[in-house]
Structure 1
């Protein structure tokens, strides 16, 4: 099974793909989809949707796993995150990839062992779980963590 992990964000959406064979995980690819704040929001959202669609077309994942929306103190930030997340979900639907959602806390617990893990701890575990992986940046690392968490949480083909 190939799992596409996604970490939506208007500024930089991360994506990461892992292959799951029984209890074994292997890295396929990862990347980031940055957008420029100088562009209109509609163009930025289109870039995100097209970038996710390209990853789907190139790697044919069986499922996608996306972080759930968390509410920021700033409602505008939450709204921007929701817009980016909508584009990611739409790209998955267009590519006929089933989507599963996981909270940030559950992702951290599945990867590190505690839901209160720091980003550095998650990134360190990625190196253990995916030896030799070259991660393109922090957003791609978060996306790989979502994919790994899904592999651990949904081991029977989901």
Structure 2
């Protein structure tokens, strides 16, 4: 069974193809970026084309796709003080990361592609897969520590990657192979 693991983002999406059962060292990892597109619509359209290239072709189509679930809430951050042009008191202005607003939309693109191409799939929260792969406390790591742990995990298993996005995608693929109930059911049906 060929598993596609995705650590999706507009900035840089990591992907990993894992033939299970099989040696993790033979995982193929890659990534793509949509950040050079002009606006949000163009970024999402580019993302859709990249996902179609990974999931769409009949030859080499994954048997299972697993991706990191986007948060349901959007975080706001205090904006850096600037000139108080509107009389709002420069320090009271909050903003969101615009790319973060696109995460639910690109997650929908992945889900739609798996449904359209009839590929079994699952999304998993970062805390869930990290706790299962890294062990106790792994689900509570900071973003920076979690990415460092993903790279360490991949080095230990001999998985070739470049960048933390690919390392996290490989970890998500490993989680799918070893922990996903949906994937286990798929394996059982295939064996029957």
Q: Place the TM-score, normalised by the shorter chain, in its bin.
A: 0.7 to 0.9
Per-residue CA shift, 1:94-122, capped at 9, x if unaligned? Answer: 32211111110111122211323422112
Q: How does 1:46-125 map to 2 (within 5 A)?
A: 46-56=45-55, 57=57, 59-70=60-71, 71-74=73-76, 76-113=98-135, 114-117=138-141, 118=145, 119-125=147-153
Write the deviation string for residues 19-74 of structure 1: whole angstroms up to 9, x where unpaired: 1117x545332211201355122221121111122122263111101111123413
Q: Return the structure number with greater relative CO, CA threshold 8 A, min gap 6.
A: 1
3-state secondary structure, aligned to 2:140? coil
Q: Which has the larger radius of gyration?
A: 2
Task: Report the number of matched residues.
Answer: 155
- CA contact 1:8–1:88 (8 Å) conserved in 2: no
Q: TM-score, normalised by structure 1?
A: 0.84
Tell me the equivalent position of 2:178.
152
**Structure 2 alignment gaps of length 5 or more:** 77-95, 187-192
Unaligned runs of 5+ in 1: none
C-alpha RMSD of the superposition: 2.2
Which has more strand, going by share of residues?
Answer: 1
Using the TM superposition, give the Cα deviation of residue 157 of structure 1 relative to its aligned residue in structure 2, in angstroms: 4.9
SS in 1 for 2:172: helix
Corresponding residue for 2:12? 12
Distance 1:143 1:60 in 2: 17
Shift of the alpha carbon at 1:77? 4.8
